[in-house]
Amino acid sequence: MAEEKSQASSSKMLTLKASDGVLFEVELNIAKEMKTVQAYIDDCEDIETIPIPNVLGKHLAIVIEYIKKTNEEYDAEFEKQWNMDDLQLLLLAANYLNISGLQECLCKAIAKRIENKSPEYVRKVFNIENDHSPEEEAKLRKEYKWAFEGVDKD
């Protein structure tokens, strides 16, 4: 792996173990972008394999790639490759691992995908259970009626 000139002299490698057992070897400075991992390292200095119980290998790979490549251009194109399901799982991963740049990028992407969509669509896509009573919902719809005009019938 090519060393960037700005890296610290220690090119220590770390292993991250995803929830499905997939292992990833990453450089220390990449792993440190994940604040959760950083905290783990701070607590136990000699650790070599860090378990990431909430994130599948598939998504951890994407997260690691993001950290390596992030810049204005990359971020703008990043979200286009993933479907809504993956975006949500990636957001959960970014939140768990505490990576603010990735979290921002994903929040923006998810917002873009629900923009101009009806509440029914949003509920479906996020699988949100509607626990409002019909009366409560009717009342809310009336109060915010301008919000429901002109949305995509999806």
Residues that bind other proteins (CB under 8 A): 83-85, 88-89, 91-92, 95, 103-104, 107-108, 110-112, 114-116, 119, 122-132, 137, 140-141, 144, 146-151, 154
Distance in Å, CB of 34 to other proteins, minimum: 16
Distance in Å, CB of 12 to other proteins, minimum: 31
Distance in Å, CB of 103 to other proteins, minimum: 7
Q: Which is nearer to other proteins, 12 or 139 (CB)?
A: 139
Distance in Å, CB of 82 to other proteins, minimum: 10
Give the list of residues 6+ apart from residue 102 with CB closer than 8 angstroms, or none: 63, 66, 67, 70, 90, 94
Residue with tokens 């991250």: 16
- Is the sign of the CA dihedral 65, 95, 154, 75 positive or negative? negative
Q: Which is nearer to other proteins, 29 or 70 (CB)?
A: 70
Residue 151: is it exposed, middle or buried by C-beta count within 10 angstroms (0-12/13-18/19+)? Answer: middle
SS3 153: coil
Q: Which is nearer to other proteins, 4 or 85 (CB)?
A: 85
Residue with tokens 């951890």: 60
Contact assessment for residue 54 and residue 92, using Cβ atoms and an 8 Å cutoff: yes
Q: Which is nearer to other proteins, 10 or 127 (CB)?
A: 127
